[in-house]
Amino acid sequence: MKIGSISEDRKLEKRVAITPEIIKKYKSLGLDVCISKDYALHLGFEDEIYEAEGAKIFKSEDEVLSNSDALLQMNIPSDEILSKLKKDQILIGVLNKYMNENKLKDISNKNVNCFSLELLPRITRAQSMDILSSQANLAGYKAVVDSFAYFQKAIPMMMTAAGTISAAKVLIVGAGVAGLQAIATAKRMGAIVYATDVRLASKEQVESLGGKFLTIEGSENLETESGYAKEASDDFKKKQEDLIKETLKKIDIVICTALIPGKKAPIIIKKEMIDIMQSGSIIYDLAASQGGNSELTKVDEIINNKGVKIMGERNILNKLPVSSSNLYAKNIFNFVSNLYDKEKNNFKINSDDEIIEKTRIK
């Protein structure tokens, strides 16, 4: 059995699904690996490195497609590639079911087995496959580093003979994986960190990292059984809005990370709140690709509103493509290991396996 991967559209995506170091693990399962020419050259991984590890290099994407039993990708491939997938072939990646529903339905009707890894259940057995956590960790770190680079003051408190520089004050909106990493990174760099989240369970995690959790009086725990945030009531939103508005008057940097799976990102930072922020402040919106948590966020643009910069990139992990590819490649390998039956030398789609059943597109 063979697994394959072709190059992503590098204008949009620099990450890859197969790194050289993971090939030996696939080989140990009994799987052959094939990739397209110059597959990860942009990451410094030359074809010779892949070949040395045991991968086969094909000159064209069509050759990879025709020789692969399973295609491993970062994102959903182009319409042209999808049209070439064969019956009983397997496609695994971050396929964004909610955004690509019609495309996925069409290829599923062709009896192509599609698995979308963002749908993984939050169970212990799936932790090593959890691409949302591994990628969000890096995103939270990078958002803090980038926003600090744009901030024109020192981050930690500094006491000098000439006087004292106060520590920067940072607000993290959303204390999921990305938010918690952002808290940890900002604290390590000497900032005073505040955080808010609709899930009350986040309070203990925030405080364990040295952050100050902003609590809304009388709030309920808005957390799904799967551990994700769910949409808040209008009453909660109003209380949250008042608390954040008052807090923003003293905040230098805001990192927005709040997302609801399958829905547009909630607008949490409204224009009237940004208007009262100090000039020179930064808002870095990690939710930009899903609409943004800030009312003024525009994808891949820096908006200046009365001296406050609002930043939102489509894919911040394109700035950390080697690290994020290494983690993603391990996640997807663990998923393939669960799907592949080594003794029978085939892929076994077991509908009784929660991991397989939850991620499979029907």
204 has a pLDDT exceeding 80: yes
Q: Which active-site residues does the annotation give?
A: 122, 127, 130, 133, 228
Contacts of 91 (CB under 8 A, 6+ apart): 70, 71, 73, 77, 85, 107, 112, 113, 114, 115
- Per CATH, the homologous superfamily of domain 2-119+321-361 is NAD(P)-binding Rossmann-like Domain (3.40.50.720)
Banded model confidence at residue 235, pLDDT cuts 50, 70, 90: confident
Contacts of 169 (CB under 8 A, 6+ apart): 191, 192, 193, 194, 250, 251, 252, 253
Same fold, 2-119+321-361 and 136-318: yes
Cα–Cα distance between 102 and 306 in angstroms, integer? 42
Are the C-beta atoms of residues 227 and 122 closer than 8 Å to each other? Answer: yes
Of 329 and 342, the structure prediction assigns the larger pLDDT to 329
Cα–Cα distance between 132 and 120 in angstroms, integer? 9
Q: Which two tokens stand for residue 55?
A: 């991968």
Of 343 and 156, the structure prediction assigns the larger pLDDT to 156
Tens-digit pLDDT profile for residues 263-273:
889 999 999 99
Are the C-beta atoms of residues 321 and 135 closer than 8 Å to each other? Answer: no
User: What integer is the mean pLDDT of 70-90?
Assistant: 95
92 has a pLDDT exceeding 70: yes
Domain ranges of the chain: 2-119+321-361, 136-318
Tens-digit pLDDT profile for residues 116-175:
999 999 899 999 999 999 999 999 999 999 999 999 999 999 999 999 999 999 999 999
223 has a pLDDT exceeding 90: no
Contacts of 189 (CB under 8 A, 6+ apart): 144, 148, 155, 156
The predicted pLDDT at position 182 comes to 98
Query: Considering only the top CATH level, what class is 136-318?
Result: alpha beta
Q: Which two tokens stand for residue 66?
A: 């025709």
